[in-house]
Amino acid sequence: MIRIPPFFLSLAEKNHRVPQSDGFFHFSPFFLERSLSMTPEQLATDLKSLLLQKDFRLVQQPEDTPAFDLYIRIENPVCCVLAVQPHDTAEHREDVAAFVEGLQKQLPQIQCTQLICLYLTIGAESLAEVHPLVDTDRMGNLHHIAWHYATDTQTLQTADGSPDKLMGIEKLLRMAATGEELPKDTLRKDTTGKRPVVTFTIFAICAALLLYGMVTGQNEFLWERFSVSRETVLGQGQYYRLITAMFFHGSIMHLAANSIYLFYFGSRAELLLGKVRYVILYLISGICGGLCSIFLGHYASIGASGAIFGLLGAMLILTREKGSRYTGMNYATMILLAFTALAMGFLDVGVDNWAHLGGFLSGALVFFLMFRAKE
């Protein structure tokens, strides 16, 4: 638990990049089908339902606070506050500003470095000019954004210097105005009671082969017999090595390091994709990683990391397409992890980074094709 201003509830997780604005006053038309007679209160109510489904948390306010909706969402290192005002008043602005200023002091406690405040007003008519909550657009680590949605013209207006996109809120606003519902496949998938059997089986096979080699003292023989290299695969036609190599490991530490990523990405991929597609993805990624190692590398290699990097690439695409709520993974963190792992691999002479890169790219491509085919 964390301590922040009294009418603050709890938080969600993720990461977000603040869009840049061209500094001009914007009119972004939404081509809506709903009646123009929709009141600002109705739109705010419909928007509330969509925001709650997308991990925005409604802030509990004291009974004496003016009636307006205040939401918060965390996408580390960014904290976003959304104030939805069907009736814009000076009193409302003061209350929101006070809340944001109090929350700004609590950022270190919630492990955030940036705070975004989106002040959204909803009215029946367009405004001549949209004014931000405060005079300046940025105060240190606090960014103020102001929008106004006019129900008569069905347009979204933004203040000078404010972006017209933020955390998908603009899409939810459009959906609320049209009466659309969120696609079910973008919501968190229920995996209660399910177990990643295939992932456990892969780990068990890898662990059994490593243990057998250690107990019998035949590790070096097994590596030589089942590793992948240009000479053995292309020169001698031993193509089976493209599969066997991904189940052998050089040491306990090698297996342990791969297993962490296997269980983190593999267990989620298996539950979300299904066992058949998961096995296909794993094997193709491992084979492509081996092929990349053969053509670009210079040494024999073993290990499941090529296949595991393929799982990382696939989950990256899935998170990008379906959202972090669906996969339970942070998109920005996954990108950082992928780049860090690949960069460290190129710095270590004992790591076959070509297999990692080949597995990652093939996994992302294979899943992208499977995802599009399913659509």
pLDDT digits (tens, 9 = 90+) for 331-365: 888 888 888 888 877 776 678 888 899 999 999 99
**Angle formed at CA 54 by CA 48 and CA 55, multiple of 5 degrees:** 95
Known catalytic residues are 305, 356
Compute the residue count for the chain. Answer: 375
Beta-strand (E) ranges in 86-141? 114-123, 138-139
Angle between helices 275-296 and 305-322 (to 10 degrees): 120
pTM score over 0.75? no
Enter the tokens of residue 183: 């696609």
Count Cβ atoms within 10 A of the Cβ of residue 230 and give its class: 0-12 exposed, 13-18 middle, 19 or more buried.
Answer: middle
State how far the Cα of 363 lies from the Cα of 266, in Å rounded to an integer.
Answer: 12
Q: Give residue-wise pLDDT tens across range 194-234.
A: 789 999 999 999 999 999 999 998 888 888 888 888 888 88
Using an 8 Å Cβ cutoff, are 227 and 301 in contact? yes
Mean pLDDT of the 129-135 span: 75
Q: Give residue-wise pLDDT tens across range 53-107.
A: 777 888 876 665 556 788 998 877 888 899 998 877 788 888 888 888 888 888 8
Residue type (1 letter), 153: T
pLDDT for residue 243: 92
Strand, helix or coil for residue 87: coil
Q: What class is the 197-374 domain?
A: mainly alpha
State how far the Cα of 142 lies from the Cα of 200, in Å rounded to an integer.
Answer: 45
Confidence of residue 313 (pLDDT cuts 50, 70, 90): very high
Q: Give residue-wise pLDDT tens across range 148-161.
A: 988 878 888 888 88
Mean pLDDT of the 310-335 span: 83
Using an 8 Å Cβ cutoff, are 276 and 362 in contact? no
Enter the tokens of residue 279: 């096995």
